[in-house]
Amino acid sequence: MLSKIIAETRSYRRFWQAESIAIATLKELVDLARLGGSARNVQPLKYLLVNSPSQNTKIFPQLGWAGYLKDWPGPVEGERPSAYIICMLDTRLSNGAECDLGIATQNILLGATEKGLGGCRIASFSRELQRILNIPDHLQILMVLALGKPKEKVLIEDSGPDDDIKYWRDATQVHHVPKRSLQEIIMVGQSD
Amino acid sequence: MLSKIIAETRSYRRFWQAESIAIATLKELVDLARLGGSARNVQPLKYLLVNSPSQNTKIFPQLGWAGYLKDWPGPVEGERPSAYIICMLDTRLSNGAECDLGIATQNILLGATEKGLGGCRIASFSRELQRILNIPDHLQILMVLALGKPKEKVLIEDSGPDDDIKYWRDATQVHHVPKRSLQEIIMVGQSD
C-alpha cells in the first residue's frame, strides 16, 4: 500500500556499505523518475549512476551530511553509501527544475524503499564534484542521492508545541524526525 | 506495485465533475504530502482544501491550462475539477520550497491515483486567487492541484528523434505525452 511505502521512505544516512547495488537496479529507479511529471514536459534532468567502490570513495568526501547533527561528520567507513545517483540539470533545456527534482527524487526513493533500499537527498556538496566526475559544463549538479541498504532506524514523531523541527539522535543512535501535524498544515475552504 | 501507480499518475485535465471528493479524502492526500521529505526538515508548505461547487467556480477562471494546447482554453463545464488543493509557502518559515513542493505534490498525486482519482499541477494562475480565497499575506500560493475523477485517456510514448516533447491531442481527444528515453537521460560512471 502506498501510504506504507511513503511512511517508510525516510532519509537514511548509514548503510550496510558492503551490500552493493547493481547499475541495473539504479536504472530501474531512474526509470521511475523518468515517468514523473515535468513542468511544460521539458524533462531537463539527467542522471549519472555510480556504484563502484573507487568512484564512491571519490564522491563521499565532497558531500555535506545532516546539518543539524553538529557532532556527526557523516557515516564512517563501512556504513557509507554503496551507490549514488547524481541528479543534474541540462542547462541547454532549462534554467531550473527544482520542482521536477522533487518529483523525480521522490519516485526514486519510493522505488528504493520498495526494493529494501534507502537513501538521502544531499544538496550540500563541493563544486569539485563536477570536475572529479568529469561532468560536462552544460550539466549542473543539483543534488546527490546517496543510496544503500539502510543500517539505521528513523522514527517520525509529532513536532512539539515549541515548534522545533530539528531532527536528532538519541543515545541508542535512533534518528528522530519531528513532523508538523496535519492540523498545523491544513486550512479548509468554505463549504456551500 | 509502485511502478504501475507511478506510470498511471499522469496530468489529467478533464474530469467527471459531478463526482465530488470529500474533504476527508483531501486530508488523507495531504497527510501523504506531510510524510514526504523536506529540506532541513523545515516543512514550510501549507494546504488549503476546497471541494465546494461555489468555491470551485471562483477558482477555475483564475487558472491557466495546458500551455501547449493553444486551441484549448481548459475543461468545459461538466468536465472541470471537483476539488482543489492550494499549495502555499509559509514565508515566515522559508523563502522557497520548490523541491519540497515536487515531493509533496507527487505524494498527493500518487495517492490520488491509488484512489481512482487524478489531477494536474497548475503553476499558472492569477494573483487574484490569493484575494479571492482570503489567503493571508504570509502564505504565498506556489501551485494549484486540480483534482477529480479523470475523464480522459493519457498516453506516454517515446519522444522522437526530433526531440519534440510537446504534449498533444489526437482527433479522438486522447492526450499524448512524449517522454525522453532512459538512454537519453542516463550516464553511467566508470566501473572498477
Q: How far is B50 from chain A (nearest CA, A)?
A: 5
Edge-to-edge strands of the sheet including B139-148? Answer: A186-188, B45-50, B83-90, B139-148, B118-122
Residues B21-56 have pLDDT tens digits of 999 999 999 999 999 999 999 999 999 999 999 999
B110: left (phi over 0), alpha (psi -120 to 50) or beta: alpha
| B30, B52, B103: residue with CB nearest A182 | B30
Cell representation of residue B29: 492526500
Res B189: pLDDT: 86
Are B189 and A45 in contact (CB < 8 Å)?
no
Is the dihedral angle over the CA atoms B118, A101, A136, A73 positive or is it negative? negative
* A-chain residues near B107 (CB < 8 A): 6, 106
Res B163: pLDDT: 78
Res B81: pLDDT: 98
* B-chain residues near A23 (CB < 8 A): 188
Q: Is the pLDDT of residue A71 over 80?
A: yes
The beta strands (E) that lie in B39-135 are given as 45-50, 83-90, 118-122
| A5, A178, A186: residue with CB nearest B30 | A186
- Please give the share of chain A, as a percent, with pLDDT higher than 90: 90
Q: Is the pLDDT of residue B180 over 80?
A: yes
| B53, B107, B114: residue with CB nearest A106 | B107
Query: 0.95 cut: is pTM over it?
Result: yes
Cell representation of residue B38: 523536506
Are B41 and A165 in contact (CB < 8 Å)?
yes
* A-chain residues near B175 (CB < 8 A): none
Q: Is the pLDDT of residue B95 over 80?
A: yes
| A32, A45, A101: residue with CB nearest B6 | A32
Lowest mean pLDDT among A46-60, A113-127, A157-171, B1-15: A157-171
Q: Is the pLDDT of residue A25 over 90?
A: yes
State the ipTM, two decimals.
0.96
Contact B25, B145 (CB under 8 A): no
The nearest alpha carbon in chain A to B68 belongs to A40
Q: Is the pLDDT of residue B136 over 80?
A: yes
Whose cell is 555510480? That residue is A50
Are B102 and A101 in contact (CB < 8 Å)?
yes
Are B102 and A107 in contact (CB < 8 Å)?
no
Whose cell is 509502485? That residue is B2
Res B123: pLDDT: 96
